[in-house]
Amino acid sequence: MSEKVDIQAINQMVKAAKRPFLQVAKHAQLGLEWEPESLFAMQILAANPYLATAVPRSIRDAVVNVASVGLSLNPALQHAALVPRFRKGVGLLCCLDPMYRGLIHLALEGGNVVSVRADVVHKFDMDNGNFKYTSGTNPSIFHNPNPFLSAADRGEIVGAYVVAEIKDSKHPHITVVSKERLDQIRGMSETWKKFASGPWKDHAEEMAKKTVIKMGSKTWGTGNIRIQNAIDLANVAEGYDQDALEGEVSVVVSITSGQAKHIRDVASRMKVPVEKIYSVYEIKLIEELPASKYDECMTRIRKAGATYALRHASPGEAISPIEYGMTIQEMVYLASEVSSKASVVCEVERP
């Protein structure tokens, strides 16, 4: 008998992401809308009782990351998915996992990449010259697998490759990776090392393609921070730690340029010097702020702004908690802390 899920609880967990999702979507301007993406998220969670038990905050963050990188959860597109990952000391987390098609989508949207094709090579693809790779000054790939054979009939995977055509580049950019290297990268995943499970077990071909795209994208010169952020999110979802892939990638996802601008705008309005943000988070630029600290940073800024407003308010001056992202109870408590003579007013938030 299948497990039951609490649909009402799922809806509440997803709705908790609405405010930050809309804020991120507004400033990132990547074209994703809350209504369809929230429905996709609810459908995914409702269909996966195990995932629905993840730490609620991780579900919220995963849905917000959809807006951050601009990859839809629409299952028809196969750009990204919500997946469960267990982390020791934390529990079960919900992670946004960009798929290889999603990475290709981001590469093409960057404008510098004209086309991308990734594929895996099987043992019997090598027969009769059906696979040829030429390196050097005029690189090329010839791959002619039998389209009527199943993956099993084509033999085990022996490698993968990605071919990218770059704007104004005379030759295609080709990255080839061996089965040995794929196995080494797979072995760096904590999920694989501890449980021999996860995407490398269930979706080996897709993971091989995604891995070679990650490696190849470093040579494409896209200048597109979104694809790097998506790769970082994928590494987290796949169970890689900070030292994974021999330092080739980082699992620390930085905020988007839109989020950085939003922080600066709000900090200026709240009269909070950005230098204080640098000091708290030990960064030199707002763009270096980890994405995981975005909500916390915004809360700090708004509280600092509310504190300033309450301390400098004239007796009886009306202060609205909504303007500072606070509840009326939180604002009243803060007003008592700073001995403010302001009048805290409750406004009805507009939809």
**Residue 336, pLDDT score:** 82
Q: Is 74 exposed, middle or buried (0-12, 13-18, 19+ CB in 10 A)?
A: middle
In sequence order, the 6+-apart residues with CB closer than 8 A to the CB of 279 are none
- DSSP string across 210-236: HHHHHHHHTTS----HHHHHHHHHHHH
The Cα–Cα gap between 263 and 20 comes to 12
CB contact at 8 A, 100 and 71: no
The β-bridge partners of 96 are 82
* Structural element, H or E, at residue 37: helix 34-47
* Structure-derived torsion over alpha carbons of residues 53, 57, 59, 65, reported in degrees to the nearest 10: -160
* pLDDT tens digits, one per residue of 244-257: 444 343 334 567 77
Least confident of 11-15, 101-105, 173-177, 311-315: 311-315
Look at the block and give the residue holding tokens 């028809």. Answer: 76
- Which band of pLDDT confidence, cut at 50, 70 and 90, is reported for residue 28? confident
* pLDDT tens digits, one per residue of 256-309: 777 888 899 999 999 999 898 988 887 878 887 877 788 889 889 989 998 888
pTM above 0.75, yes or no: no
Q: What is the rounded average pLDDT of the residues 313-330? A: 82
Strands 318-319 and 173-178: unpaired
The Cα–Cα gap between 24 and 211 comes to 28
The better pLDDT of the pair 287, 18 is held by 18
The Cα–Cα gap between 263 and 265 comes to 5
CB contact at 8 A, 112 and 222: yes
The total of other beta-carbon atoms located within 10 Å of residue 116's CB is 23
What would the two tokens of residue 47 be? 């269909």
**Residue 27, pLDDT score:** 78
Percent share of the chain, pLDDT over 70: 92
* pLDDT tens digits, one per residue of 59-104: 999 999 999 899 999 999 999 999 998 887 788 999 999 999 999 9
In sequence order, the 6+-apart residues with CB closer than 8 A to the CB of 133 are 140, 141, 142, 161, 174, 176
* pLDDT tens digits, one per residue of 133-152: 998 888 899 999 988 988 88
**Residue 240, pLDDT score:** 80
The tally of CA atoms less than 13 A away on the side-chain side of residue 92 is 10
